[in-house]
Structure 1
Amino acid sequence: MKSIAKMKAPKTLMVLALCSSMLGACKEDEQDLLFEPARAFTPVNVMTTNGETEAKLSWNPSLFSNREETTYTVEVSTTQDFQSIATTVVVDTAYAVITDDKISIKQDYYARIRANAAGNSAASNWVVSPVFRITGEQIFLPLVSTEIKDKTAILRWRPTNGVTRIVLTPAGGTATEIVLTPEQLTARAITLSNLTATTSYTAEIFAGTVSKGITTFTTKEPSIFTYTLTAGSDLVAAAASAVSGDVIGLEPGIYDASVASILIANKHITLRSTSGNSNDTKVLFKEITLKGTGAGVRVNGIEFDGRNTAGEVNAGYFINIDAEPGTLSSITVENSSIHDFKSAFIRGNRAANNAIKIDFIKVDNTIVSKNGVDNYQSFMLDKMDINRVDITNSTFNEAGRGFISYATNFTPVARPIFFIDRVTLNNFGSGDRDNVIFDANANVVDFIMQNSIMANSPKPGQVVKGSAIRAGAGSSVEFKNNNYFNLLGGAPLAPLTFPSYVAMSNNKNVDLGWTATTTDFTLPAGSELRTAGLGGTAIGDPRWAR
């Protein structure tokens, strides 16, 4: 027995040692499982979203945060050194919303964010956001050029509770506070009076002490006519005898210029209604012809009707640029109505490449309609050396085979700019054309279309190809804050496509129910399109959002 006991003792010691070793290993494994490194704050993207009344900061969650509730501290400052903290918030989400009761509007800020200490994890390092701001509300509606005069201006705003006052400040002058009356609040409009001509003003609207929007405008020069015509006068003869710089005033009534063209050769003149109202001043026209160096025209406050006295459509073009080479001045069409013509709204492609030069073409606060099915886009600007085209606050209904053509390949002296803002374009496209919104072919241009509504292409019974826009390599093409629907092309019909080089953002496809026969484009009350524009404003021609 003694010999047996002696043999078991070492074995027992070995077993005990082995168990002790295993227990030790188990404790080490347990310690490894409980080990938590300091949390690494790893935002691949710290993103900021600016809003009218708040700004949102968002980030990727911290690593190792899935076992416990993680909180974050967000500090906001106007400088990246964070010497002065404007506000601090603690959140348990991977985002934070900073409101306008915490920080000022229209002021740039930075935020720094860290995961707070929790359990065995220490607080993370700070991570700094990109710059952000609260833009402030914009309840002012877009200004209407005909409502801005030399001594008065009308401001309108969208329905907003609590509006109390407007502060009006002339450039370099003293601010004046205007307390809004119950009548003005009901109308959501105010007529400012006793203004100074050709002066820039800034108006800011408030609800108590909170800013609800800012707008700027410049009053017009006093309306001074070189001479005036009475209804029935010979407008063709008046234009022929005018000298460059003349402003011809048209008294209310009807003028017949449907037999011969209104020729403006080697001079720039203005045709303007004395009333400023296109509803009471009408010209029956054949076309306005611009010819030679210095030629140009500005029309304001006139209805141009392309029918003759028998009611027959007689006009080919509204403005037709002659083939004679030359450096023209400019074309401005504002506060007018042009309708019933067969071909192009403006045709400028008759001459050779670069033979016609012009500073700018501007169309504002104008309705153009009943453009017949023909071989031209509404704006036929091929081969022209042109610095800038601005088309704003206007409606084009039953337009040309396309909207803008600059499609003949050539080398302009200057890179042209095409700017389209707050335009309503309905019922256009025909003749199997491609790129029916804008076609620059291989020409290098700057093109911006924004805050606009386009619908219904092609025209009934017509076909177009499948692309919306074309421009040359190196062009800058932006298409933003627009709404478009029922724009179709190709065979079989499919939605028009936009090439990849078009920078598209914040566009919508809200079907408003318009057809080829629609003439009233008023946006429905409460429509999201009433706030879809830049700065939270309505899109399309502003007259349809009043």
Structure 2
Amino acid sequence: MNRSTQYIVAAFLLLATISSCKKDDPNAGLEPPRLFKPQGISVKTTATTATVTWSAPILATGLPLSYTAEFSQDSTFETSEFSIITDTLSITVSDEKIKLRQKYYVRIKAENYDNQPESKWERSSAFSINGEQWFFPLRDVELNENSVTLRWTPNNTLTTLAIALNKGKIDLYQLTPAELSSGVKLIPGLIADTTYIAEIFAGTKSKGFLFFKTLAPTVYTTVLNAGDDLGAAITAAANNAVIGLKPGTYTGSSNFAMMQKTVTIKSLSNNPADTKVAFKEFTLRGNGAGINLQGIELDGTPGAAAYFINLTGAAADGEKCAYTQVSISNCIVHGLATSFFRADRGAAAGDYTMNQIIIKNALVYDIGVSNYSCFHLNELAFNTMQVTKSTFYNIGRQLLSISTVLPSVPSVTFDNCTFNNFGSTNLNAIMNAGSNPVKLNLTNSIIANIPRPGGTVLTAAINATAAGTGIVFSNNNTFNLTNGAATPAVLTWPTTNITQVNNQLINLGWTASTIDFTLPVNSVLRTVSSAGGAIGDPRWAY
């Protein structure tokens, strides 16, 4: 046998030996540590705990193994915070062990057993815990350029409030008995357009954490004192002017007209409780007309106001007009005979156009029952209408009408709103879209007491059947909604082109005369929004 043949025979013998070993021992050739390596680590967190679970090694079923769990803020585990030894397949650690809002990793290994050495490590993905959250969400109206009002669940165990610039200086406030009882503290002296962190403590334990950013400073074109002529200031204002109102009362005996220009009127305090405008009407006239109102109480009673916002042409109603926008933020509007927003004076549907309508943090009430709807937009081709965090009560015969054929498909949103006591004259109480396709999102809201006393409405709450229509009606609560007939029938919702989930039918005891819509302390409605919080206007959840 030559040398080459000897090598070949030896190779075959080696292969046969390996093959025989594989048949006799299924684990032959595996590294011993791999036999007992933990599998499939998962981490589930709550506000204050992280529970780590894993599976036993595939080949260790029934063996009494122990494990080491090591925690680190470093994914390479060059340094570790602490470790725990256990003989279970799960451990729970709390904020006593791991820091809040810090990224952590955990790795697990099986300890040596019998003749097997310890296993290799199995590492988790990153996780963190955020801690308890006793802070309420910030009210938009209480976050200003230089101050913020913080609110939390009242509790006498709380001790300290910390406010810090993001990655900057920390200011500590010892909470007074009055603040502990009310759960409210005003923080003044902040820097405009700046990010801050707020944290509240019971001793050394964090009980709440918030990021917020103060508003950018406003550059005013004109600042008025109480009693100054607001109408003259509006007439003299240039396009995009910003008129500031110091606290006090302002009146106007004639319409406030935005003639082919967009004007912002804003209280310096951003507080409608101290800045009031008595008006007859805000009229948007012609191309480029628009209005932004912020932080004002707007009372139509002294001026016998028919409308709040009224759209017309520059010279005649029938002109084609391209308006800019209507934005109402943190305002109280009341005392109207006819309609909150009228836009139906064009010669034909779509002759009036507008990009957006924004209503947020508004309180709107006491609109008379007449031949117009609260939002009477029959000839306005608008792109978007967003009504959020607002309350409407005693608001006329119908919420929204866009019944005349329009050239566009508007998108309409009512979110986190409270509605009470409206509807009459045999209309669709919520919306009549006529033959127009529409995208309607009515979510996280409370709707109660339709129709107004003595009124009747159509049994269908919404008329929107055109091809291309899409309706989302979710996370709402409704009660006392009928057609008002002698034998009342419960209002119905569309059966096609609609998504309905997580809606409630809880009677809160409101009547047509209710004006305080505060949710009961333990109401389930405080937890059923799409974000897990309260539904309705947030002002009633504090």
TM-score where L is the length of structure 2: 0.69
Partner of 1:315: 305
Counterparts in 2 of 1:221-232, with a 5 A limit?
A: 221-222=217-218, 224-231=220-227
Please say if residues 245 and 267 of structure 2, whose CA atoms lie closer than 8 Å, have aligned partners that are also in contact: yes
1:284 to 1:381, Cα distance in 2 relative to 1, 3 A = same
Q: Distance in 2 between matches of 1:98 and 1:477?
A: 45
- Following superposition, the deviation at residue 355 of structure 1 comes to 2.5
Instruction: Determine the structure 2 residue equivalent to 1:70.
Output: none
**Residues 1:455 and 1:87: Cα distance change in structure 2 (over 3 Å):** farther
Structure 1 residues 504 and 285, CA gap change in structure 2 (3 angstroms): same
CA contact (8 A) 2:336 2:367 kept: yes
Determine whether 1:153 maps to 2:163. no
Name which of 215, 237, 254 aligns with 1:242: 237
SS at match of 1:345: strand
User: 1-side partners of 2:389 and 2:292: how far apart?
Assistant: 17
Q: What is the correspondence of 1:315-334 to structure 2 with a 5 Å cutoff?
A: 315-322=305-312, 323=317, 324-334=319-329
* 1:432 CA displacement: 0.9
Match of 2:3 in 1: none
- Aligned 8 A contact 1:454 1:484 in 2: yes
| CA contact 1:397–1:426 (8 Å) conserved in 2 | yes
Q: How does 1:392-541 map to 2 (within 5 A)?
A: 392-412=388-408, 416-434=410-428, 436=430, 439=433, 441-445=435-439, 447-450=441-444, 452-460=445-453, 461-468=455-462, 470=464, 472-489=466-483, 492-541=488-537
- Which whole-Å CA distance do the structure 1 matches of 2:85 and 2:517 have between them? 47
Farther off after superposition, 314-323 or 438-447: 438-447
* 3-state SS of paired residue (2:141): helix
Letter in 1 for 2:339: A
- The amino acid that maps onto 2:237 is A
Change (3 A) 1:493 1:52: farther
- Distance in 2 between residues matched to 1:380 and 1:270, nearest whole Å: 23
The answer (yes or no) to whether the contact 2:429–2:450 under 8 Å persists in 1 is: no
For the Cα contact (< 8 Å) 1:87–1:102, is it kept in 2? no
Tell me which amino acid in the other structure corresponds to 1:300: Q
**Distance (whole Å) between structure 2 residues aligned to residue 520 and residue 264 of structure 1:** 34
SS across alignment from 1:255: strand
Aligned counterpart, 1:277: 271
Amino acid in structure 2 at the alignment position of 1:516 = A
| Residue identity in the other structure for 2:280 | K
Match among 380, 383, 386 for residue 387 of structure 1: 383
Deviation at 1:388, TM superposition (A): 2.5
TM-align CA RMSD: 4.5
Would you say 1:304 and 2:289 are equivalent positions? no
- Kindly tell me: are residues 393 and 512 of structure 1, through their superposed partners in 2, closer, same or farther at Cα, counting changes over 3 Å? same
- Whole-angstrom distance in 1 between the partners of 2:465 and 2:146: 43
Change (3 A) 1:108 1:198: closer
Q: How far does residue 240 in structure 1 lie from its aligned partner after superposition?
A: 1.7
Task: Please tell me whether the aligned partners of residues 423 and 429 of structure 2 are also in contact (alpha carbons under 8 angstroms).
Answer: no
Counterpart-to-counterpart distance in 1, 2:131 and 2:462 = 34
Task: Kindly report structure 1 stretches of 4+ aligned residues shifted beyond 6 Å.
Answer: 48-56, 86-91, 97-109, 132-136
Letter in 1 for 2:362: T
| Matching residue of 2:78 | none
CA contact (8 A) 2:438 2:464 kept: no
Q: Could you say what secondary structure the match of 1:532 adopts?
A: coil
Cα deviation digits, residues 488-527 of structure 1 (max 9, x gap): 2275421433535433333322212111111222223333
Q: Is the 8 A contact 2:429 2:457 kept in 1?
A: no
Counterparts of 1:373-384 in structure 2, within 5 Å, are 373-384=369-380
Q: Secondary structure at the match of 1:401?
A: coil
Which residue pairs with 1:17 in the alignment?
A: none
- Please give the residue correspondences for 1:184-223 in structure 2 after superposition, counting only pairs within 5 Å: 184-205=179-200, 208-209=204-205, 212=208, 214=210, 216-222=212-218
Cα 1:407/1:108, change in 2 over 3 Å: farther
* Residues 33-72 of structure 1: per-residue CA shift (max 9 Å, x gap): xxxxxxxxxxxxxxx999867899xxxxxxxxxxxxxxxx
| Local SS of the residue matching 1:142 | coil
CA 1:498–1:106 in 2, change beyond 3 Å: closer, same or farther?
Answer: farther
Query: Residues 384 and 133 (structure 1 numbering): CA distance in 2 closer, same or farther, change over 3 Å?
Result: farther
Distance 1:136 1:240, change over 3 A: same
Contact 1:469–1:499, Cα closer than 8 Å, also in 2: no
SS of 1:477's equivalent?
strand
- CA change 1:488–1:169 in 2 (3 A) is farther
- Structure 1 residue identity aligned to 2:187: L
Cα distance in structure 1, aligned partners of 2:351 and 2:44: 48
- Cα 1:50–1:510 shift into 2, 3 Å: farther
Give the Å deviation of 1:537.
Answer: 3.0
1:493 aligned counterpart, secondary structure: coil
Displacement of 1:383: 3.8
- In the alignment, residue 431 of structure 1 is paired with which amino acid? T
> Which runs of structure 2 are paired with 1:104-123 in the superposition (5 Å)?
none
Alignment correspondent of 1:350: 345
Task: Identify the range of structure 1 (260-269 vs 200-209) with the bigger mean alpha-carbon deviation.
Answer: 200-209
Report the Cα distance in structure 1 between the residues aligned to 2:103 and 2:501, rounded to whole angstroms. 23
Q: Is the partner of 1:370 in helix, strand or coil?
A: strand
Structure 1 residue 367: Cα displacement: 1.5
Shift of 1:436: 1.5
Quote the offset at 1:353 in angstroms.
3.0
**CA drift at 1:160:** 5.4
CA distance in 1, matches of 2:153, 2:531: 13
Structure 1: gaps spanning 5 or more residues: 1-47, 57-74, 78-85, 92-96, 110-131
In structure 2, C-alpha distance between the alignment counterparts of 1:281 and 1:363, rounded to whole Å: 19
Counterpart amino acid of residue 449 in structure 2: N
Describe the superposition over 1:79-120 as per-residue Cα deviations: whole angstroms up to 9, x where unpaired. xxxxxxx999999xxxxx9999999999999xxxxxxxxxxx
User: Which stretch of the first structure deviates more once superposed, 220-229 or 298-307?
Assistant: 220-229
Q: Distance in 1 between matches of 2:345 and 2:101?
A: 49
Verify the 8 A CA contact 1:392 1:423 in the aligned structure 2.
Answer: yes
Name the structure 1 match of 2:19: none
Q: Matches of residues 50-61 of structure 1 in structure 2 within 5 Å? A: none
Identity of aligned residues (%): 36
